[in-house]
Structure 1
């Protein structure tokens, strides 16, 4: 299981993360942050695989990926 979070105040809505998401679940929020940008958000968090593409491409370090490790017997 993985969880992606976006620091909405750091995000400038460049859409680089949107373009690399293999599941196409990253979208720009209709909300506007303090900088006047539409930050990235997930449309369907349950479909996220935690691949990390969004994390690696983000120039503003606005993406955090948390992956849970599976137990050895799973």
Structure 2
């Protein structure tokens, strides 16, 4: 049986840094980027050091009010 791995891609130019996705992530894979802002001056979210534990549940994308997060899922073989 394979293991489901996930990965997220954040559209940083649209992100307003509301942190709803940070709170929603059950694996703590997302953080606000430190000392970085987007073209509109907002801090944005990005995958963090724990992003390898992402399971692709899409909780982050579901709660994002601006649709900034795309979730990819991949089944890997043991």
Sort the TM-score into its range (normalised by shorter chain). 0.7 to 0.9
Q: How far 1:68 sits from its partner (Å)?
A: 2.0
* Partner SS for 2:17: coil
Q: How far 1:2 sits from its partner (Å)?
A: 1.7
Alignment gaps of 5+ in structure 1: none
Q: How far 1:69 sits from its partner (Å)?
A: 4.3
CA-atom RMSD in angstroms? 1.5
Relative to the length of structure 2, the TM-score reads: 0.83
Whether 2:59 is the aligned partner of 1:57: answer: no
Which 4+ runs in 1 deviate beyond 6 A? none
Relative to the length of structure 1, the TM-score reads: 0.87
Q: Who is 2:13 aligned against?
A: 9
Count of aligned pairs between the two proteins: 72
**Distance in 2 (alpha carbons) for counterparts of 1:48 and 1:69:** 12
